[in-house]
Amino acid sequence: MLVKLFNILSSGLIMGGVYAIIAMGMSIQYGVARILNVSHGEFIMVGAFLTFMLVKLHVNPLLAMVIISPAMFLVGFVLHRTVYKKLSDVSGSASTFESNSMLISFGLMFVLQNIGLQVWGSQQQAYPFLLTSVRILGTAIALNRMVVLLFAVAISLLFYLYLQKTRLGKAIRAVSQDAGSAALMGIKTHRVGAISFGIGAVLAGCAGSLISIINQFNTSMGMSYTIIAIIVVVLGGMGSVLGSLLGGFILGFIGTLVNYIDPSLSLVAYYLIIIVLLLVKPSGLMGGKS
């Protein structure tokens, strides 16, 4: 019994770390740029396949994650400075911009998914990496899963510290809390929004790299991870990076436990969490705190 419990806890911790990175990327994009990016999962898919391509060239997948991060940032930054900046200029209000930007991200989701299908096909992909196991409390845990957990936690904590301690991080939090007041203080809100969108793309790419190390992946994987990201963001609190970190681990544990009982009930459990949370505490666990 203890072995099964430890296995559930360890698996939940690992997936929770990945979910936290995924949700933090979406959270900063919405909290700062006010874009609910439903194409977020496609950026995860692209990150997984770019890592896969580099691995085939004999590049370590952890190094591949570092290599693709600047490219992911550039794509996100340019996308915001062109498409979303133009949309912001022509939108009459913030609410109009939010709804229209979500529609654009839906279109972007299908564009990226179809590009992925044309380039990489529809088949499942995987590659071997650190397949040896270590035994902890009688449970064999694959070394690659432990590495993914360490990198997920490290990325999450470094990102949180970056927001708290650096000048740009403080500007990002200021825009997230009150864009109008931040602009009056001399902060270039559109530039900060573009940087934040780029950072969100980087976090999605990193999550894709980590997912590719431990799971099979394909070009239609994006939507499921977008749903998970939205659930975690709502669970933690819209726009709250710390809430996304907490919510990611909570959902990871719940998902692993439900999957152990009956895998077909995982999404049902996720949606029940959202329904209950919206009825009881609609602001989320952290209530919008950064």
Mode of pairing for the β-strands spanning 133-136 and 139-142: antiparallel
pLDDT tens profile 55-82: 999 999 999 999 999 999 999 999 999 9
pLDDT surpasses 60 at 288:
no
Listed residue (149, 103, 138, 95) closest to 7, CA to CA: 138
| Residue 290 pLDDT level (bands cut at 50, 70, 90) | low
pTM of the model: 0.91
The tokens describing 188, both together, are 């270039």
- Phi/psi for 213 (5° steps) reads -70, -35
Q: What pLDDT shows up at residue 264?
A: 75
- In this prediction, residue 135 carries a pLDDT of 76
Helices within 57-188 (DSSP H only): 61-79, 85-90, 94-120, 143-165, 167-177, 179-184
* pLDDT score for 126: 93
- Please say if the pLDDT value at position 84 is more than 80: yes
pLDDT value at position 154? 93
**Inter-CA distances, 141 with 207, 209, 263, Å:** 20, 19, 20
For residue 15 the two structure tokens come to 């997936």
